[in-house]
Each structure stands twice: as C-alpha cells, then as structure tokens.
Structure 1
Amino acid sequence: MSYHSHTLNSVSHTHIIGRTDPITGDTIKENDSIVFCLVCQSCFLEESWNYMNNRHCEQIQTLNFVPLPPPQLIAKKKEQKLIAELKDSMINPLPALILPFVFGFISYYIAESDKSGAVLIGTTIGLCLGVFIGWLSKTQVIKEFTGHKSTSFSIYESYMEIENVKFYWNEIEQINFKRTMLVEFDDRYGTKKASSHYPSLEIYLNNGEFLERELPTTNYPKIKPFLFGLAWASQFTSIFFYTEHEKEYGLVQSFDRNYKGTIKIGVPTQLAYNPEEN
C-alpha cells in the first residue's frame, strides 16, 4: 500500500468524525479508515481514495498522521475605557478631633510636672499625630468604622458605575444633573454672598426604577471633567442639565452646540458664583 490509512476512534478523532466524504457524500464515522491528501489535507474514505486511483491534487502522497483540530480563538475581554470619574475623598472629621483631645489631656498632666518637657513632647505628639491622622483618614477601614460611605461616580464606554454598581447605557432612560445656589443678602452693606448646594445626579432606568445620589463635592473645577463625561454619554441616553452656577451654566450651554447626543438644558431661576468655592 503506497498511502497512509488511519482508523478513527472516538477519543482522539472527534474533530474528524462527522465530516462528509467528498466523493460518496457519506458521513465519516468511528472505525472508518480514512486517507488525507498531503497537499490540501482533505479527508477521504479509503474506498474513495482507491476510486480516485490514489491520487489527489495531481499527486499521490498522503499524510502519515491525523491532523490536529485547529486551535480555538478565545476573544480577550475588552478593557473598558474610563471616560470620566468623580470620587469622594472626604471623611467624617469627628474621629480626627477625638485623638488630639485625648492627647491634650495627657500633655496637660505632663505640663504640671515639667513645662519645658511638655512643650517639646506636645509639639512632637502634634506633628506625629497630624501625619498619622492624615494617613489614617484615607484608609477604607476608618471610613467604614466612622460610618462614612465612600461615593464614586465613573463613566465607562459601556456603562456608568455608581458605588460599584454598573448601569449599562441601554438600561438608562435619562440622567439628570442638578445644582442649585443659595444667595444670601446682607441688608446692612447691600452685598450678597452665594454658596452652592451639593449637586445631585438622578438616574431614571427603563424598568421604571429611579435613584438619586449627591455628588461628593461642590467644587466646579473638580466636577467639570465629569460634566464632559455626561455630555459624551448623551450619544447613548438622554442627559438633562440644570445648574444655577454661573460658570457651569455657560459650560453646559456649549455642550448643546458641540455634542450631537440628546442634551436638554433647564433655564435657571438665578445665576450666581462664589469664587471662594472654586
């Protein structure tokens, strides 16, 4: 026999079993004897190979092994691109006040016995304590202990994430951004002072659910990149802006001109701005 014949089994040749013989049209089964053309690696029943006078692709050579199955291509999970983010870096100040108060009592008792030593020790304690509290206030454990709930808002290519919960764009019907300003008048001096309430985000879902979250800061420069992210998201869902912040209102008006998405802008009842907050 001038060619290589292979007997199929259900353990090693499942990728061959079930194919169709090109000559007879029969389904290739377990225990069938088959031949592979060396050039094109087409699979034939041995009877079909003999019928073709042991020739294919104008030659007579065959494979001396059964080809392995082609490797399966596994699509890599696409990493979501972060468009904009707004995180809460604040902490409840109460624990930070308790420790200095305790050390104050310690310094007081030291001062009764040695005033010069108390100054040195008190200064050292104060510096160390400031560094320690600054580091401690940033840890998640302390935030949880003090009951301070960290709030983060992230806008990605496919979804918005709030407090580690993902809301995909096709789940969101509309997002509302709202900021109101408090303007106080001083009748004695005829002056007014403006301050901002914390902006809020309202999310209306297609299933009828609704959630509202307060943003972690009133600082306009910090919120500004997040507003650009919301404008970017208008290509997927409706975005409504209402702000009484004078500079912010000018920004969102530019969104309506420069973005092709669904952007709505409410007319503010007042416009104010406090440079000290920004």
Structure 2
Amino acid sequence: MPSQIATPTFGEETSFDIVAQRLAKADAGRLSKTLISAVAHLHQLVREMRPTPAEWRGIVAFLTEVGHASDDKRQEWVLLSDLLGVSALVEEINARRPRGATPNTVRGPFYRADAPRLPNGANISLDAAGERLTVRGKVLDLDGKPVAGAVVETWQANDKGFYENQQPDLQPEFNLRGVFTTDAGGAFTYAAVKPAGYTVPDDGPVGRLLRLVGCPLRRPAHLHFVVNAEGFETITTHVFDRTDAELHEDPLFGVRPELLGDIRHETCKGGKIAWGLDFTFVMVRARPGRRTA
C-alpha cells in the first residue's frame, strides 16, 4: 500500500509554506527565523520574475563566480553587499546616533586588519607618489571633551585611485595605511597623499553586473577611518573631499553632510605648496546591551 503524504504537495502556491515548516522544526532561534524570512522573499521573487531553468542556473553561476573572485586580498561578496546598498542599510539600522555625532558608513572591501601601528606624525605614503596631504584629526565626545588614547585606523587609495592590496606588485605593502593613537588632547596627525576618486572594481562579476544595468560606479575621493575607544561606540566612516564632482552618486551610498572635509592648499616648510585636511570625529558613549562595532 502506498504511503500517505501528510503534508501538502510542493507546488508554486505551497512552496514557501512547505520549506518554512521544515525550517521551523529545527527551532534554531534567530537563525531559523532569518532563513524563513529569506525563503519567503526569495520564493516571492521567483514567482514574480518566473525565471527559466537556464536563467536560474545563470544566477547560481554568477554567485559562484562571486565566491571564486573573493580571497584574503579582495572581498567580492562585500563589494556586492556594498553596491546593492545592503551594507549601508545595516549600518543605518545599527548605528543611529544623536545629532552631532559622527555617522557610520560601510567599511568597504579594501580594509586590512593588520595595518602597522605608527607614531603621530608618521608618513603612511611609502612610495612618495602623489601630492603630499597632511591629515590633522581630533577625537571628541558629544560634550566636546577630548578622547585620549583612541585608536584610529586609516587607509586610502593613492593619487591614481588604487589601494595597496589592489596593486601588490606596484605598491609597497601597507602603503597608505596606518594605525594611530590620540594624545591627551584627543589629537592625531600623519602625512599621506591627496587621494583620487576611482571606479569601484569592475573587472569581476559584481562590477560587470552593475555596469550592465547602468549603475554609477565612480566613487568620490575619500579617506577611510575606524576609531575605537574604551567606553565608546566604534566609528567606521569616510571623510570625503567636499569638492569632488561625484559626491551626489557615490555607489556605496556613504556620503553624508557631516563627512565632507575641506582639503585645502597650504604652505609647507621651505615654501612648498601641499594639501591639508583638518577633521573632527565625535564619539558616542556605548549604551548597555548595544554592540559597539
């Protein structure tokens, strides 16, 4: 005698219910709920778009290619999340701060956690290529008091718009990267080069996809920072060149009025003209039960 099927037969109208019931049985808490929600949206998308088997295999092939393009030097998955606005949305949800505090932005795919610690005043331009930029920063709390001992990580593209880990054969390792500590007055300073804007990597599957649909891929010139201090929420952010023409269509959705910096001409020793940037980061004290990074 054939066995009796107690559950509905899998079909277009029942697909989500059947998969959701199976996932709910696992009862893995937030993970199960997240998977069930993802399945609901995915099945709804498939019903709306009605892809052919060949089109779906193409989607799977694209995701596979994204994985193959990711390694310890390049994170194509992070790039995909960034360019679809998902990374920016996660930051907005998790890092809402009071007026006057420095907002978070996406960290981006070129961050390295192993950048060297350097003394204040050090030069992070290891190849001396480009126009000199002196960065002078301050880290304050919401009351305007200095945050001493804050750890400030910074990294940036060079004057051609490339990060060190994009050009391992052309730039010295850790070029334009460094980790500094604020002094008793909450200040730090270092020398770099004036960064150039750049097109996000379009030699991989993510860039090719976004080009096909006509999305802007040119990022305005900027510097990256992560600021950590005990008892405060971690700041992960950009500082953008206020004069850059691409500010209005940053493909990573990172531009905020509070993050616009004035990169100005200034005279160095010997009368040489270079660039200078002064910027103040404002930290918020960590709240109980809230993640700080």
Could you say which structure has the larger radius of gyration? Answer: 1
What is the TM-score with the length of structure 1 in the denominator? 0.23
RCO comparison, higher one (Cα < 8 Å, 6+): 2
What is the TM-score with the length of structure 2 in the denominator? 0.22
